[in-house]
Amino acid sequence: MNIGQAAKKSGLTAKMIRYYESIGLLPAAGRTDSGYRQYSSQDLHTLAFIKRSRDLGFSLEEAGKLLQLWQDRQRASADVKALARDHIDELNRKIAELASLRDTLQELVDSCQGDHRPDCPILKDLESAGCCH
């Protein structure tokens, strides 16, 4: 199938498929005599694997490692589990950071009267965090 068909079936854009190919995440596609890329059903499985990895928040580098592990039939599942656990740890760190940001902003919103007066604790906090005191 051509890149447009592969994009439609995989849920990715043609641009993303070309990018994955350019960084080596996807093997170079076969070409027709006229130079058009041709993708196989195995390429579609690989694209689906990459897409699902990315949907779960894995970085491109992590998705590449997972792809290598998936393709290595001699791999230890412990290697896959370790990579997934590391990703969970990173997600938990990001969740804690976002929760802290949310809580801080909620405190500022709660302290703002939200009326016609110009005094605003939210803007005052943003101003006080500046570099030029």
pTM of the model: 0.79
Distances in whole angstroms, Cα of residue 98 to Cα of each of 34, 92, 107: 50, 10, 14
Mean pLDDT of 100-105: 96
Backbone dihedral region for residue 57 (phi beyond 0: left; psi -120 to 50: alpha; all else: beta): left
Q: In one letter, which amino acid is 98?
A: L
Torsion sign across C-alpha atoms 112, 117, 123, 128: negative
Strands (E), the chain: 30-31, 37-38
Residue 133: pLDDT above 80?
no
Q: pLDDT digit string (tens) for 12-31?
A: 999 999 999 999 999 999 89
Residue 3 near residue 14 (C-beta atoms within 8 A): yes
Would you state the pLDDT for residue 117? 86
Most confident listed range (55-59, 118-122, 127-131): 55-59
